[in-house]
Structure 1
Amino acid sequence: MTLPHYVALLLAIAAAVAALRLWRAHRADPRRPRAWRLATLLALQPLLAAALYFGLFPLERALDPAELVVLTEGADAAAAMRSGGVAVALPEVAEVGGLERAPDLASALRRHPATARIRVLGAGLVARDRDAAAGIPIAFDPPPLPAGLVQLSLPERIVRGAGFDIAGRIEGVADASVALHDPAGRRVDATALDEDGGFVLHGIALEAGPAHFELRVSGGDGAPVAQSAVPLWIDAPASPKVLLLAGAPGPETRALRRWLADAGAQAQARVALGGGLQLGSASLDAKDLAGADLLVVDARAWSGLGDSGRARVLAAVREGLGLLLRADTPLAQASLRGLRAPGFPIEGGNGSAPWSLPPARVDDEQALRARLGSGSRDAPFDLAQAQARPPALTRRSWRVGGAQAVAFASAADSPAGWWRGEGRGRIGLWTLLDTYVLPLHGRGDLFDALWSPTLATLARARPDALPVVDAWARAGERLRICGWQQGATVEGPDGAVVQPIVDPHSGERRCVGLWPRRAGWYRLRLDSAERGFHVADADEAPALRLATLREATLALAAAAPRAPAGQGGARAAVRGPAWPWLLGWLLLAGLAWWLERSRLGLAGAARKNDAGRAAADAGD
């Protein structure tokens, strides 16, 4: 039962009790009231109850459905007048003529409760108005996309030393090309646009903290057309604990161990030297495996673990440990047991084949210096060496194909390896044999580009204390951050610190709302953890802003119901006014009060009055 039902039941009981009281009082009254007096008082009780009920819960008033024409940025007021329906201009519209203005869409809907559908004119609804439009049929004829950068996809999280991709789309520029420049102004990558104007650029994060990259768009003649800032926050890398096992010393193991040390990983190695001797003391008991993030083991060491050792490692993988098997020699079927899966068959491994890295898209001096650095006095930058073709590598002829197999670095020939999930962890198979030659040829960047994403993919997943904020937040617009932790704060560019409150309706997502007023870098902090996000100026990248409004409104219109049946039909019925019912209740209550206290309709009182008048006449 709802509240109106409970109130109706209570009022019905009150009317019945009042009627019973009146009936008993009527029988016990010595003045012998008339029957019509009792009938009137009894009839007033349900009327009083009904008037009070409808005063508290007025009847709904049915209204004819109507279309609300909403003018957004760039809309034409004359077109709105010709479209029919009620027209309302939102604050982003500069010239409205004689049309009604509204501070937001929610206010416009409250003013026009009969709205059953919305027609949006102009660029589209801003974030402030999208929640109010949810669930209402929306008609939106999008304007043409503006010329320039209309789509930009930035990586959610970037770690220092890792590569990253920036994707986007350019509209309205024929035969254009786009280039990515690092914070020092050096061109990192460049590419021509595809048929749809899309592009993907690759960069490298060299330093932790805020970094301002830049996209520069050039026309077919090479003349600059547009440029856009790309602010990125680069996290400091974590210090993973890596266990490195090798069945014999070798240059690949030595290069990998040195690279792990330079990358800041906590690497523990164990290399068999023969005759029962070994170098290093990495342990593989259950406690050490539970504390490690990744185990890198070559084929000989994996076979030497035995069935019990391999079972112990695979059990740790199911609990979250990452495993990378450097399959540099053939393996017995018993050693492959546990690595295979129905969607991850492993075959071959008896021979080897050449393997080449794909050529760099941009290899001029400026791009190479951005990737390799400018060198030092002891090791100066050598342009000829950097531009030389990277040495060909060798891979073991393993074949993996299946629904669970995900490739690592791909080349024209075949991937460098594959991985699959196993419980809470991941298992990887690596086929390259001699990546150590890359640093020897001065291409440590290519060695890092192969191994860094591989190990990052397999390493144990660690919980992130701070949430990742969507790119391209703008000053003056609401920003929602989900995954909020208790005690986290936000520091603005002016040093002001705020602690947003979690929306209780967001549930397990734990979302907070933030309304940044100034452009610049903001910092999320929780204890010692810190992550920054950039808030752009309100008018920065205007083509991207208009395209974002357009796409968000199209998505909202696609998700809305197509007929006024849902919430749109409900909006056409509103509560009527309550004051007539309350006024009627007051008049009925006054009438009942007067009638109960008057002598009207009392037979005994009438005879007494007649006797009194007769005695007065006799005395005269």
Structure 2
Amino acid sequence: MTMAQTVALLLALAVLVAWVRLPLAHRRDPRMSRPWRLWLLLALQPLLAAALHLMLFPPRHPVAPATLAVLTEGATLADAGPATVRGVVLALPEAGDAGDVARVPDLATALRQHPGTTQVRVIGAGLVPRDRDAASTVALAFDPLPLAPGIVRLSPPPAIARGSAFVLEGRVEGVPGGRAELLDPAGRRVDAMPLPEDGGFALRGVALETGTATFAVRVRDARQQEVAISQLPLWIDADVAPRVLLLAGAPNPDTRALRRWLVDAGAQVQARIALGGGVQLGSAPLTATTLDQADLLIVDARAWSGLGESGRTRVLAAVRRGLGLLLRGDNAMPAEALRGLRAPGFTIAGGAGVRPWHVPGPRLDGEEALRGLMGSGSRDAPFDPAQAEEEVPPLSRRAWRVQGMDAVALEPGADRGDAAEAPGWWRAEGRGRIGLWAVSDSYRLPLHGRADLYADLWSPAVATLARARSSAMPGIEADARVGQRLAICAWPEGAHIEAPDGQRAQPIVDPASGARRCAGYWPSVAGWHRLRMGDAVQPFHVAAADAEPTLRLAELREATLRLAAAPPVSAPGATVAPRNTEPGRAWPWFLAWLLLAAFAWWFERSRLGLAAAVSQQDPPRDLR
């Protein structure tokens, strides 16, 4: 029982005693008071008790929640300013010198200490991942600090296979007239571009070897002075060799070059090339079993027409089960051959004419850049700088026109920006994909020493259309840092993580994540970690806590701005927290009690309500 409840009980007992005593005194009073006098005295007793209790324990009233200000990295108490009259200022662990400001271990603790808070003002660089779940439940106000000049966004490709080209996107802040450059692991500049007004860039590189590779992005200003450089650790997978069926209606240089490139890239190739007169090279059957065992079927126009209606129907049925189909439209085809390829969102027209087509080349054509893109070559075809620096010959392109909502352009390397001039298009069909290829004479590229451009032309098409293979390994965030929680979803049973120092960790799946099966991991050392599940290995890199400070602060800023722009959400199973209250003022209740007590004292001694006066000899009697 609280003090207030104890006092209330005592006052209630006092009122009951008064209610018993007053009627008894009323009967013994010789002055014969009127009934209303007794009833008024009885009514005054609980009023006096209530006023006394409210004076001792004034009613509490809710306090309007003021903005809770939190100091983050880079903020000081001077940055908080007037946090509001009733505001509270707290410092998170990342804040620097905060003076006498109370510190809290995280934002969730701050919200628990101040229930009822509905708005949080973030001061400084922004909220780290630890505090973002708690911040999503309240309205967030964030005035970001200005970004420092340098690289503020870097988006590495999600997965890179050996021998494939990749595009690295990012943004630079505060370097007008600058230039972004991509350096390969040997320090060679393989790509560069001037920075536009918004600072965005897209640089192209090639993954030549399997394993870990550290590329770098360097930014120079208008005077060619180095402003910033960011390291980009990448893991290059050994490419999973696709199983390719190659059909050609006749021997030709394009088929020979394509077959050689596929074999050199590690693909398992089965070819069937018609030689005429019913003779063919290779015996790749087109049964349903063979098609289901393949990942991609590449067929030229003559061979596709020669399959007949039943053969094309068999192939399209396999496509719906997951096979990829790439039709090389090197010749015009009759309408019946295109019937199964067309769809309401994928119209095909043209194909009769031929015009020159130029493959997009690299922005840098110096020997150093070309060697970084092409490598050292092979024993029978070593890198020849003189040949590589020659002008790239134009290719031929059939005048196919593909339009519709389902048509997606196949772009070599960087985006050309004109879908009508793309080398090909594709669309989805069931679980597989269908593509139409318009470029011919691509064999001229390796003949002129530009095997890199040939690979850039064909790699996206093969990778896009080949049968998708599911991976049992989960995807891991690319911005992992020491000391920050790393969420890994689709966590496999029995997997564990090996740190560079040899320590093992087996994260536990959060039951609240449900079917997503997300586990949390807090890396303690920087470097390459390995997620192992049996014989399967998924490497991922963890950066040091203080690595790339400009990029890290920009990531905090962007993440906090996204939180501030989103409406607050309620956490699952969360209850409404009680609002902050404070005692009211006691003096109004004291004044009320004083007035009531004075009136009761005067009324008891007055002659109001007395039916008869007592004699002057009779002494006055106290009615209490």
Is the aligned partner of 1:400 residue 2:414?
A: no
Q: CA deviation at 1:574?
A: 7.7
- Asked if the contact 2:361–2:453 (Cα under 8 Å) also holds between the matched residues in 1, the reply is no
| More divergent stretch after superposition (408-417 vs 490-499) | 408-417
1:110-138 superposed Cα distances (whole Å, 9 cap, x missing partner): 21113221111111111111111122111
Is the aligned partner of 1:354 residue 2:361?
A: no
- Asked if the contact 1:137–1:568 (Cα under 8 Å) also holds between the matched residues in 2, the reply is no
- Asked if the contact 2:63–2:581 (Cα under 8 Å) also holds between the matched residues in 1, the reply is no
> 1:433 and 1:322 mapped to 2: Cα distance?
20
- Asked if the contact 2:76–2:96 (Cα under 8 Å) also holds between the matched residues in 1, the reply is no
Q: SS at 1:456's partner residue?
A: helix
- Relative to 1, partners in 2 of residues 1:66 and 1:569: Cα closer, same or farther, differing over 3 Å? farther
Q: CA deviation at 1:570?
A: 3.2
Q: CA deviation at 1:294?
A: 0.4
Map of 1:431 onto structure 2? 438
Q: 1:272 aligns with which of 257, 271, 274?
A: 274
Map of 1:542 onto structure 2? 549
Amino acid at match of 1:262: D
Following superposition of structure 1 onto structure 2, how do residues 68-217 of structure 1 map, counting pairs within 5 Å? Answer: 68-80=68-80, 82-84=82-84, 85-217=87-219
Map of 1:589 onto structure 2? none
Q: CA deviation at 1:508?
A: 2.1
Q: SS at 2:118's partner residue?
A: strand
- Asked if the contact 1:501–1:512 (Cα under 8 Å) also holds between the matched residues in 2, the reply is yes
Map of 1:33 onto structure 2? none
Runs of 5+ consecutive residues of structure 1 not aligned to the other structure? 1-59, 577-620
> 1:302 and 1:377 mapped to 2: Cα distance?
36
- Asked if the contact 1:118–1:138 (Cα under 8 Å) also holds between the matched residues in 2, the reply is yes
> 2:284 and 2:504 mapped to 1: Cα distance?
45
Following superposition of structure 1 onto structure 2, how do residues 22-61 of structure 1 map, counting pairs within 5 Å? Answer: none
Q: CA deviation at 1:78?
A: 2.5
Is the aligned partner of 1:445 residue 2:447?
A: no
> 2:323 and 2:514 mapped to 1: Cα distance?
31
Q: 1:239 aligns with which of 233, 238, 241?
A: 241
- Relative to 1, partners in 2 of residues 1:456 and 1:379: Cα closer, same or farther, differing over 3 Å? closer
> 1:546 and 1:316 mapped to 2: Cα distance?
50
Runs of 5+ consecutive residues of structure 2 not aligned to the other structure? 1-59, 583-624
Q: SS at 2:67's partner residue?
A: strand
Map of 1:529 onto structure 2? 536
Q: SS at 2:491's partner residue?
A: coil
Is the aligned partner of 1:570 residue 2:576?
A: yes
Map of 2:220 onto structure 1? 218
Map of 2:566 onto structure 1? 559
| More divergent stretch after superposition (414-423 vs 370-379) | 370-379
1:200-257 superposed Cα distances (whole Å, 9 cap, x missing partner): 1000001111111111111111121111101111111001111111111111111111
- Asked if the contact 2:496–2:506 (Cα under 8 Å) also holds between the matched residues in 1, the reply is yes
Q: SS at 2:497's partner residue?
A: strand
Q: SS at 1:548's partner residue?
A: helix
- Asked if the contact 1:346–1:398 (Cα under 8 Å) also holds between the matched residues in 2, the reply is yes
> 2:479 and 2:575 mapped to 1: Cα distance?
36
> 2:224 and 2:484 mapped to 1: Cα distance?
36
Q: 2:388 aligns with which of 377, 382, 386?
A: 386
Q: CA deviation at 1:379?
A: 4.3
Following superposition of structure 1 onto structure 2, how do residues 2-41 of structure 1 map, counting pairs within 5 Å? Answer: none
- Asked if the contact 1:235–1:531 (Cα under 8 Å) also holds between the matched residues in 2, the reply is no
- Asked if the contact 2:65–2:580 (Cα under 8 Å) also holds between the matched residues in 1, the reply is no
Q: SS at 1:473's partner residue?
A: coil
Q: 1:483 aligns with which of 490, 505, 509?
A: 490
> 1:574 and 1:280 mapped to 2: Cα distance?
82
Q: CA deviation at 1:573?
A: 3.5
- Relative to 1, partners in 2 of residues 1:567 and 1:135: Cα closer, same or farther, differing over 3 Å? farther
Amino acid at match of 1:398: W
- Asked if the contact 1:136–1:567 (Cα under 8 Å) also holds between the matched residues in 2, the reply is no
Map of 1:66 onto structure 2? 66
Q: SS at 2:311's partner residue?
A: helix
Q: 1:293 aligns with which of 295, 301, 306?
A: 295
Amino acid at match of 2:280: Q
Question: How many residues matched?
Answer: 515
Identity of paired residues, percent?
60
| More divergent stretch after superposition (522-531 vs 189-198) | 522-531
Q: SS at 2:254's partner residue?
A: helix
Q: SS at 1:370's partner residue?
A: helix
Q: SS at 1:258's partner residue?
A: helix
- Relative to 1, partners in 2 of residues 1:163 and 1:508: Cα closer, same or farther, differing over 3 Å? same
Q: SS at 1:513's partner residue?
A: strand
> 1:485 and 1:425 mapped to 2: Cα distance?
27
Map of 1:29 onto structure 2? none
Amino acid at match of 2:391: R
- Relative to 1, partners in 2 of residues 1:81 and 1:329: Cα closer, same or farther, differing over 3 Å? closer
- Asked if the contact 2:329–2:437 (Cα under 8 Å) also holds between the matched residues in 1, the reply is yes
| More divergent stretch after superposition (495-504 vs 298-307) | 495-504
1:509-568 superposed Cα distances (whole Å, 9 cap, x missing partner): 221111001110011222222221111111111111111111111111111349x9x999
Amino acid at match of 1:524: L
> 1:504 and 1:516 mapped to 2: Cα distance?
21
> 1:175 and 1:286 mapped to 2: Cα distance?
58
- Asked if the contact 1:396–1:433 (Cα under 8 Å) also holds between the matched residues in 2, the reply is yes
Q: CA deviation at 1:571?
A: 3.0
Coordinate RMSD, CA, aligned: 2.2
1:371-422 superposed Cα distances (whole Å, 9 cap, x missing partner): 1223467644322211111111011111111111111126577111110110
- Relative to 1, partners in 2 of residues 1:79 and 1:329: Cα closer, same or farther, differing over 3 Å? closer
Amino acid at match of 2:118: A
- Asked if the contact 2:319–2:434 (Cα under 8 Å) also holds between the matched residues in 1, the reply is yes
- Relative to 1, partners in 2 of residues 1:380 and 1:271: Cα closer, same or farther, differing over 3 Å? closer
- Relative to 1, partners in 2 of residues 1:575 and 1:309: Cα closer, same or farther, differing over 3 Å? farther
| More divergent stretch after superposition (74-83 vs 285-294) | 74-83
> 1:435 and 1:273 mapped to 2: Cα distance?
21
Following superposition of structure 1 onto structure 2, how do residues 470-619 of structure 1 map, counting pairs within 5 Å? Answer: 470-561=477-568, 570-573=576-579
> 2:505 and 2:108 mapped to 1: Cα distance?
27
Map of 1:368 onto structure 2? 370
Map of 1:603 onto structure 2? none
Q: CA deviation at 1:575?
A: 12
- Asked if the contact 2:220–2:226 (Cα under 8 Å) also holds between the matched residues in 1, the reply is yes
Q: CA deviation at 1:261?
A: 0.8
> 1:213 and 1:484 mapped to 2: Cα distance?
29
> 2:307 and 2:383 mapped to 1: Cα distance?
44
1:327-356 superposed Cα distances (whole Å, 9 cap, x missing partner): 111111111111001111111111211111
Amino acid at match of 1:552: A
Q: SS at 2:74's partner residue?
A: coil
